[in-house]
A = this chain, B = another copy of it.
Amino acid sequence: MRVSKEQAAKNRERVVDVAGQLFRERGFDGVGIDAVMAQAGLTHGGFYKSFASKDELIAEACQAAGVRSVEDWIGHAANSSDPFVDLVTRYLSPAHCRNRKDGCVFAALATDVGRRDRPVRAAFAERLKAFSTHVARLMPGRSAARRREGALAAVATMIGAIAMARAADDEEFAAEVLAAARATLLGKDGASAPGLQG
């Protein structure tokens, strides 16, 4: 029954990872401790020797999934010839839309996190800031301030578009939203972006 300290640490990590996946699929309130522990291959009674509460797990899962999300999206883009195009195209793809479990935690849980307590929101916000900072570096634009501004808006557009596409029961509408967000962020359709005044 008892395992080594090393194994116990790995088990704890697996619980956090598995929780991050299940939360993205079903939401924080849609997943019980027993489901998380079962998915990690443990029984639910042992949970409270590793975590003070479910909220602590939620905060850690947001932190860990956030780190992973930033690494994945930014890492892949950085190895591409056109990082910003790579990021936007992959992020706003039907494949990402379908894959909630391993997809971006920000797009999966944005409105849910807004209702959680401070530690959860702090963990989420910290990773969201890191993501935005990395996106600003990939971003075309004259000044750092403009890249920062553009990055924050681009992140909002990407998160909002994926959330909309997943919410809609209509595949065609979902695809249209993703295409519109891609075109607008990448300026595919002409000299000036839609939404510009004057």
Residues of A within 8 A of B (CB): 25-27, 29-30, 84-85, 100, 106-115, 118, 121-122, 124-125, 128-129, 139-141, 146-161, 163-164, 166-170, 173, 176-177, 179-181, 183-198
Contacts and interface: CB of A to CB of B under 8 A. Distances in A.
A115 B159 contact: no
Given A30-B29, A167-B125, A195 B154 contact: yes
6 contacts: A121-B167, A149-B194, A157-B160, A185-B195, A186-B196, A188-B197
Contact of A170 (B84, B125, B173): B125
Given A27-B27, A153-B181, A124 B167 contact: yes
Contacts of A30: 29, 115
Contact of A153 (B109, B113, B194): B194
| Copies of the protein in its oligomer | 2
A111 to B, nearest CB: 5
A197 B107 CA distance: 24
A146 to B, nearest CB: 5
Q: Which of A151, A156, A177, A191 has the most CB of B within 10 A?
A: A156
